[in-house]
């Protein structure tokens, strides 16, 4: 969910949350989660309902350049909500989406394997439950292979990523930025 309107429609009378709760009561689903591209909406959803999981961008450029992500991570962890990370192998937002280099990536993906390894390791070093690889088949394969040799990121490597993010357009921004 991205907007206040999304939030109100989904959680309001006759909204998606009512349908999902009925499905859970009927034994059709066991776990309920949501996807968020707005930190403010994610935090409000967690206040309104006890979800099992949240899927949201955990990306070094967005984290360092806009501050998007830490507040969702912290609140979800505090509440015991599973944290599913996406966009870990994204580099930065494109100024114009017509500049895509890969069909399934509306952002500039990381193409360099060394940088992608750092980015994936950075994402896996956060308190996440799982990381979703990129949708592009070639990048998906590269990310999965690189994740096999996971070791926590160290402070020198984190400094490299902070420097790499500097001045780049984040994928998502906080509403007050």
pTM, 2 dp: 0.90
What is the helix, strand, coil percentage profile of the chain, to 5? 45, 10, 40
Distance CA 152, CA 158 (A): 10
In a domain, 63, yes or no: yes
In a domain, 98, yes or no: yes
Distance CA 69, CA 73 (A): 6
| C-alpha dihedral sign at 30, 55, 141, 156 | negative
In a domain, 176, yes or no: no
Domain count along the chain: 1
Distance CA 171, CA 119 (A): 14
In a domain, 102, yes or no: yes
In a domain, 105, yes or no: yes
Q: For residue 131, what is the domain's CATH number?
A: 3.20.20.100
Domain residue limits at 111: 31-165
pLDDT tens digit at each of 177 positions of the chain: 888 999 999 999 999 999 999 999 999 999 999 999 999 999 999 999 999 999 999 999 999 999 999 999 999 999 999 999 999 999 998 888 778 888 888 888 999 999 999 999 999 999 999 999 888 999 999 999 999 989 999 999 999 999 999 999 988 887 655
In a domain, 21, yes or no: no
> Using an 8 Å Cβ cutoff, are 153 and 125 in contact?
yes
Distance CA 65, CA 14 (A): 38
Strands 90-93 and 107-109: antiparallel
- Which run of H or E residues covers position 55? strand 53-57
In a domain, 15, yes or no: no
In a domain, 84, yes or no: yes
């Amino acid at each position: 969910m991205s907007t206040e309107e999304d939030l109100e429609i989904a959680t309001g009378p006759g909204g998606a949350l009512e349908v999902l709760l009925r499905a859970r009561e009927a034994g059709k689903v066991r776990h309920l989660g949501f996807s968020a591209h707005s930190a403010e909406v994610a935090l409000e959803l967690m206040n309104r309902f006890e979800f099992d999981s949240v899927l949201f961008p955990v990306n070094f450029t967005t984290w360092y350049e806009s501050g998007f992500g830490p507040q969702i991570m912290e609140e979800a962890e505090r509440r015991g909500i599973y944290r599913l990370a996406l966009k870990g192998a994204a580099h930065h937002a494109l100024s114009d989406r017509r500049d895509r280099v890969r069909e399934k990536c509306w952002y500039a993906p990381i193409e360099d394997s060394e940088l992608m390894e750092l980015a994936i390791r950075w994402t896996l070093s956060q308190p996440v439950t799982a990381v979703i690889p990129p949708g592009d088949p070639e990048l998906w394969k590269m990310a999965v292979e690189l994740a096999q040799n996971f070791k926590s990121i160290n402070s020198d490597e984190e400094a490299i990523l902070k420097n790499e993010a500097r001045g780049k357009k984040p994928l998502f921004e906080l509403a007050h930025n």
